Amino acid sequence: MTWLLVALGAAVGAPLRYLTDRAVQSRHESAFPWGTFTVNAVACLVLGATAGAAVSTELYALLGTGLCGALSTYSTFSYETLRLAETGRWPLAAANAVASVLVGTGALVLGAELAGVVRG
Amino acid sequence: MARGAERPYGRERAVTSSGGGRDEPVPIDPDVDLHVPAQRAETAGAHVLLVLAAVAAGGIIGALARYAAVRAWPGDPASAPLVTLGINVLGSFLIGVLMVPVAEGHGRRTPHPLLRPFAGTGVLGGFTTFSAYALDARDLLERGEGAAAFGYVAGTLLGSLGAVWAAVTLTRRVFGRPGAGR
Protein backbone atom coordinates (compact mmCIF):
# COMPACT_ATOMS: atom_id res chain seq x y z
CA MET A 1 0.00 0.00 0.00
CA THR A 2 2.73 2.49 0.92
CA TRP A 3 4.47 1.67 -2.38
CA LEU A 4 1.33 2.65 -4.25
CA LEU A 5 1.09 5.91 -2.30
CA VAL A 6 4.74 6.75 -3.05
CA ALA A 7 4.06 6.09 -6.75
CA LEU A 8 0.93 8.22 -6.66
CA GLY A 9 2.73 11.14 -5.02
CA ALA A 10 5.58 10.89 -7.53
CA ALA A 11 3.15 10.75 -10.46
CA VAL A 12 1.98 14.21 -9.38
CA GLY A 13 5.27 15.61 -8.09
CA ALA A 14 7.44 15.01 -11.17
CA PRO A 15 5.10 16.63 -13.75
CA LEU A 16 4.46 19.43 -11.25
CA ARG A 17 8.22 20.16 -11.19
CA TYR A 18 8.31 20.16 -14.99
CA LEU A 19 5.32 22.53 -15.28
CA THR A 20 6.44 24.84 -12.46
CA ASP A 21 9.94 25.00 -13.93
CA ARG A 22 8.46 26.02 -17.31
CA ALA A 23 6.14 28.58 -15.72
CA VAL A 24 8.93 30.22 -13.70
CA GLN A 25 11.30 30.32 -16.68
CA SER A 26 8.70 31.82 -18.98
CA ARG A 27 8.20 34.72 -16.56
CA HIS A 28 11.82 35.17 -15.62
CA GLU A 29 14.57 35.57 -18.21
CA SER A 30 17.72 34.74 -16.30
CA ALA A 31 20.72 32.41 -16.39
CA PHE A 32 20.06 31.61 -12.74
CA PRO A 33 18.00 28.39 -12.51
CA TRP A 34 15.03 29.97 -10.73
CA GLY A 35 12.69 27.15 -11.78
CA THR A 36 14.58 24.39 -9.99
CA PHE A 37 15.36 26.70 -7.09
CA THR A 38 11.63 27.38 -6.66
CA VAL A 39 10.47 23.75 -6.78
CA ASN A 40 13.17 22.68 -4.33
CA ALA A 41 12.21 25.44 -1.89
CA VAL A 42 8.48 24.66 -2.18
CA ALA A 43 9.10 20.92 -1.74
CA CYS A 44 11.19 21.62 1.38
CA LEU A 45 8.40 23.79 2.81
CA VAL A 46 5.77 21.10 2.18
CA LEU A 47 8.00 18.33 3.55
CA GLY A 48 8.68 20.39 6.66
CA ALA A 49 4.96 20.87 7.17
CA THR A 50 4.29 17.16 6.55
CA ALA A 51 6.96 16.09 9.03
CA GLY A 52 5.91 18.77 11.53
CA ALA A 53 2.26 17.74 11.37
CA ALA A 54 3.24 14.20 12.43
CA VAL A 55 0.99 12.64 9.80
CA SER A 56 0.32 8.92 9.41
CA THR A 57 2.83 6.63 7.68
CA GLU A 58 0.51 6.45 4.67
CA LEU A 59 0.14 10.21 4.28
CA TYR A 60 3.89 10.65 4.73
CA ALA A 61 4.53 8.11 1.95
CA LEU A 62 2.17 10.02 -0.35
CA LEU A 63 3.19 13.61 0.44
CA GLY A 64 6.71 13.30 1.83
CA THR A 65 8.41 10.42 0.03
CA GLY A 66 6.34 10.56 -3.16
CA LEU A 67 5.23 14.12 -3.84
CA CYS A 68 8.03 16.15 -2.22
CA GLY A 69 10.67 13.60 -3.24
CA ALA A 70 9.71 13.84 -6.91
CA LEU A 71 8.94 17.58 -6.80
CA SER A 72 12.43 18.29 -5.52
CA THR A 73 15.57 17.19 -7.33
CA TYR A 74 19.25 16.99 -6.57
CA SER A 75 20.44 15.70 -9.96
CA THR A 76 19.06 18.72 -11.81
CA PHE A 77 20.52 21.05 -9.18
CA SER A 78 23.97 19.43 -9.58
CA TYR A 79 23.91 19.59 -13.37
CA GLU A 80 22.79 23.23 -13.36
CA THR A 81 25.52 24.22 -10.93
CA LEU A 82 28.11 22.49 -13.13
CA ARG A 83 26.76 24.13 -16.30
CA LEU A 84 26.87 27.58 -14.69
CA ALA A 85 30.48 26.99 -13.63
CA GLU A 86 31.67 25.64 -16.97
CA THR A 87 30.07 28.50 -18.89
CA GLY A 88 32.13 30.90 -16.76
CA ARG A 89 29.34 31.98 -14.44
CA TRP A 90 31.13 31.01 -11.25
CA PRO A 91 29.37 33.55 -9.00
CA LEU A 92 25.96 32.23 -10.11
CA ALA A 93 27.11 28.63 -9.59
CA ALA A 94 28.29 29.41 -6.07
CA ALA A 95 25.17 31.44 -5.32
CA ASN A 96 22.97 28.58 -6.56
CA ALA A 97 24.73 26.04 -4.32
CA VAL A 98 24.74 28.19 -1.19
CA ALA A 99 21.26 29.72 -1.63
CA SER A 100 19.63 26.38 -2.47
CA VAL A 101 20.96 24.79 0.72
CA LEU A 102 20.12 27.79 2.95
CA VAL A 103 16.70 28.53 1.47
CA GLY A 104 15.80 24.82 1.27
CA THR A 105 16.69 24.18 4.91
CA GLY A 106 15.05 27.45 5.97
CA ALA A 107 11.84 26.59 4.10
CA LEU A 108 11.79 23.17 5.71
CA VAL A 109 12.15 24.61 9.22
CA LEU A 110 9.48 27.21 8.42
CA GLY A 111 7.10 24.48 7.21
CA ALA A 112 7.66 22.45 10.36
CA GLU A 113 7.12 25.52 12.58
CA LEU A 114 3.89 26.43 10.77
CA ALA A 115 2.62 22.88 11.16
CA GLY A 116 3.50 23.07 14.86
CA VAL A 117 1.55 26.32 15.26
CA VAL A 118 -1.49 24.82 13.51
CA ARG A 119 -1.31 21.73 15.72
CA GLY A 120 -1.08 24.01 18.74
CA MET B 1 8.29 16.40 -31.18
CA ALA B 2 5.49 18.68 -32.29
CA ARG B 3 4.90 19.15 -35.98
CA GLY B 4 6.52 22.27 -37.32
CA ALA B 5 8.77 22.71 -34.31
CA GLU B 6 12.45 23.23 -34.85
CA ARG B 7 14.75 20.26 -35.10
CA PRO B 8 16.01 19.47 -31.62
CA TYR B 9 19.79 19.42 -31.65
CA GLY B 10 20.77 19.94 -35.23
CA ARG B 11 24.18 20.37 -36.78
CA GLU B 12 23.94 24.14 -36.57
CA ARG B 13 23.68 23.79 -32.81
CA ALA B 14 26.95 21.95 -32.50
CA VAL B 15 28.93 23.08 -29.51
CA THR B 16 32.52 22.87 -28.46
CA SER B 17 33.66 19.82 -26.55
CA SER B 18 34.25 22.01 -23.51
CA GLY B 19 30.52 22.30 -23.18
CA GLY B 20 29.66 25.36 -25.18
CA GLY B 21 29.78 29.05 -24.62
CA ARG B 22 27.26 31.56 -23.43
CA ASP B 23 25.31 31.95 -26.65
CA GLU B 24 24.96 28.30 -27.55
CA PRO B 25 21.73 26.59 -26.63
CA VAL B 26 23.18 23.85 -24.45
CA PRO B 27 20.67 23.90 -21.61
CA ILE B 28 21.52 24.93 -18.08
CA ASP B 29 18.36 23.30 -16.75
CA PRO B 30 18.16 19.62 -17.77
CA ASP B 31 14.49 19.25 -16.74
CA VAL B 32 13.31 21.78 -19.28
CA ASP B 33 15.15 24.81 -20.62
CA LEU B 34 13.14 27.35 -22.57
CA HIS B 35 16.32 28.68 -24.21
CA VAL B 36 16.29 25.50 -26.30
CA PRO B 37 13.65 25.91 -29.04
CA ALA B 38 12.76 22.22 -29.15
CA GLN B 39 12.09 22.16 -25.42
CA ARG B 40 10.09 25.38 -25.60
CA ALA B 41 7.90 23.74 -28.24
CA GLU B 42 7.46 20.38 -26.54
CA THR B 43 4.23 21.31 -24.76
CA ALA B 44 2.57 22.44 -27.99
CA GLY B 45 -0.77 20.84 -28.77
CA ALA B 46 -1.55 17.28 -27.74
CA HIS B 47 2.15 16.55 -27.36
CA VAL B 48 2.06 18.03 -23.85
CA LEU B 49 0.16 14.99 -22.57
CA LEU B 50 2.81 12.65 -23.93
CA VAL B 51 5.59 14.68 -22.31
CA LEU B 52 3.79 14.88 -18.95
CA ALA B 53 3.02 11.15 -19.06
CA ALA B 54 6.69 10.41 -19.74
CA VAL B 55 7.75 12.64 -16.83
CA ALA B 56 5.18 11.05 -14.49
CA ALA B 57 6.11 7.48 -15.48
CA GLY B 58 9.79 8.24 -14.99
CA GLY B 59 9.07 9.98 -11.68
CA ILE B 60 7.24 6.91 -10.38
CA ILE B 61 10.16 4.64 -11.29
CA GLY B 62 12.72 6.98 -9.72
CA ALA B 63 10.75 7.56 -6.50
CA LEU B 64 10.07 3.84 -6.04
CA ALA B 65 13.76 3.07 -6.54
CA ARG B 66 14.61 5.65 -3.86
CA TYR B 67 11.96 4.25 -1.51
CA ALA B 68 13.28 0.72 -2.10
CA ALA B 69 16.83 1.82 -1.29
CA VAL B 70 15.79 3.63 1.90
CA ARG B 71 13.83 0.55 3.03
CA ALA B 72 16.64 -1.83 2.13
CA TRP B 73 19.20 0.15 4.14
CA PRO B 74 17.22 1.87 6.92
CA GLY B 75 20.45 2.94 8.59
CA ASP B 76 21.22 3.89 12.12
CA PRO B 77 19.18 6.99 12.99
CA ALA B 78 22.14 8.33 14.93
CA SER B 79 24.38 8.29 11.86
CA ALA B 80 24.26 10.57 8.85
CA PRO B 81 21.60 9.45 6.34
CA LEU B 82 24.08 7.82 4.01
CA VAL B 83 21.47 6.22 1.74
CA THR B 84 20.04 9.59 0.69
CA LEU B 85 23.59 10.87 0.23
CA GLY B 86 24.39 7.89 -2.01
CA ILE B 87 21.17 8.36 -4.00
CA ASN B 88 21.87 12.03 -4.65
CA VAL B 89 25.49 11.42 -5.67
CA LEU B 90 24.54 8.49 -7.93
CA GLY B 91 21.67 10.43 -9.50
CA SER B 92 23.99 13.38 -10.16
CA PHE B 93 26.47 11.07 -11.88
CA LEU B 94 23.76 9.51 -14.03
CA ILE B 95 22.31 12.84 -15.18
CA GLY B 96 25.80 13.83 -16.33
CA VAL B 97 26.05 10.66 -18.41
CA LEU B 98 22.54 11.18 -19.81
CA MET B 99 22.75 14.87 -20.69
CA VAL B 100 25.89 14.64 -22.84
CA PRO B 101 24.21 12.74 -25.69
CA VAL B 102 20.71 14.09 -24.97
CA ALA B 103 21.32 17.81 -24.62
CA GLU B 104 24.78 18.61 -25.93
CA GLY B 105 24.63 17.15 -29.41
CA HIS B 106 27.36 14.59 -28.73
CA GLY B 107 26.92 11.16 -30.27
CA ARG B 108 25.92 9.84 -33.65
CA ARG B 109 22.17 9.81 -33.42
CA THR B 110 19.61 12.41 -32.39
CA PRO B 111 18.09 11.07 -29.17
CA HIS B 112 14.38 10.38 -28.93
CA PRO B 113 12.57 13.60 -27.88
CA LEU B 114 10.94 11.84 -24.93
CA LEU B 115 14.22 10.48 -23.53
CA ARG B 116 15.08 13.67 -21.61
CA PRO B 117 11.58 14.14 -20.07
CA PHE B 118 11.37 10.45 -19.15
CA ALA B 119 14.88 9.60 -17.95
CA GLY B 120 16.22 12.99 -16.86
CA THR B 121 13.23 14.96 -15.58
CA GLY B 122 11.30 11.86 -14.52
CA VAL B 123 13.49 8.97 -13.37
CA LEU B 124 16.50 10.91 -12.06
CA GLY B 125 14.39 13.80 -10.76
CA GLY B 126 12.15 11.35 -8.90
CA PHE B 127 15.11 9.33 -7.65
CA THR B 128 17.11 12.23 -6.21
CA THR B 129 15.66 14.53 -3.61
CA PHE B 130 16.44 17.94 -2.19
CA SER B 131 13.63 17.96 0.38
CA ALA B 132 14.78 14.80 2.21
CA TYR B 133 18.31 16.22 2.16
CA ALA B 134 17.11 19.38 3.93
CA LEU B 135 15.08 17.29 6.41
CA ASP B 136 18.09 15.10 7.20
CA ALA B 137 20.21 18.20 7.80
CA ARG B 138 17.61 19.70 10.12
CA ASP B 139 17.23 16.43 12.03
CA LEU B 140 20.97 16.24 12.61
CA LEU B 141 21.02 19.87 13.79
CA GLU B 142 18.06 19.27 16.11
CA ARG B 143 19.91 16.38 17.73
CA GLY B 144 22.80 18.73 18.38
CA GLU B 145 25.05 17.04 15.84
CA GLY B 146 26.25 20.22 14.17
CA ALA B 147 29.45 18.69 12.77
CA ALA B 148 27.56 15.74 11.28
CA ALA B 149 24.97 18.11 9.78
CA PHE B 150 27.69 20.22 8.19
CA GLY B 151 29.51 17.12 6.97
CA TYR B 152 26.32 15.73 5.48
CA VAL B 153 25.36 18.97 3.72
CA ALA B 154 28.86 19.66 2.40
CA GLY B 155 29.56 15.99 1.62
CA THR B 156 26.41 15.61 -0.48
CA LEU B 157 27.08 18.90 -2.26
CA LEU B 158 30.73 18.20 -3.08
CA GLY B 159 30.08 14.53 -3.84
CA SER B 160 27.25 15.36 -6.24
CA LEU B 161 29.11 18.17 -7.98
CA GLY B 162 32.19 15.99 -8.32
CA ALA B 163 30.05 13.13 -9.66
CA VAL B 164 28.26 15.23 -12.30
CA TRP B 165 31.55 16.80 -13.39
CA ALA B 166 33.27 13.41 -13.69
CA ALA B 167 30.29 11.93 -15.56
CA VAL B 168 30.09 14.80 -18.06
CA THR B 169 33.85 14.81 -18.64
CA LEU B 170 34.10 11.05 -19.14
CA THR B 171 30.99 10.81 -21.32
CA ARG B 172 32.11 13.66 -23.59
CA ARG B 173 35.37 11.78 -24.07
CA VAL B 174 33.54 8.58 -24.97
CA PHE B 175 31.18 10.24 -27.44
CA GLY B 176 33.80 12.44 -29.05
CA ARG B 177 33.10 15.76 -30.72
CA PRO B 178 29.51 17.05 -30.81
CA GLY B 179 27.61 16.11 -33.93
CA ALA B 180 30.36 13.74 -35.10
CA GLY B 181 29.20 11.09 -37.55
CA ARG B 182 25.84 12.59 -38.39
Q: What is the pLDDT of residues B55-79, one digit of tens each?
A: 999 999 999 999 999 999 987 766 7
What residues contact A109, with CB distance under 8 A and at least 6 apart?
A48, B138
Side chain identity at A76, as an amino acid letter? T
Shortest alpha-carbon distance between residue A117 and chain B (Å): 18
Residue among A65, A82, A112 minimizing CB distance to B165 = A82
User: Is the reported ipTM for this assembly greater than 0.90?
Assistant: yes
In angstroms, the CA B154 to CA B96 distance is 20
Q: Taking CB atoms and an 8 Å limit, are B126 and A10 in contact across chains?
A: yes
Which residues from B are below 8 Å from A80, CB to CB? Answer: 28-30
Q: Which residues of chain A neighbour B31 with C-beta distances below 8 Å?
A: 17-18, 21, 35-36, 73, 76
Q: A43-94: per-residue pLDDT in tens?
A: 999 999 999 999 999 999 999 999 999 999 999 999 999 999 999 999 999 9
The number of C-beta contacts closer than 8 angstroms across A and B is 215
**Looking at residue B109, what is its pLDDT?**
79
Sequence-separated contacts (24+) of B146-153 with Cβ below 8 Å = B148/B79, B148/B80, B151/B80, B152/B80, B152/B81, B152/B85, B153/A101, B153/A105
pLDDT tens digits, B143-160 = 999 999 999 999 999 999
How many CB atoms lie under 10 A from the CB of residue B172? 19
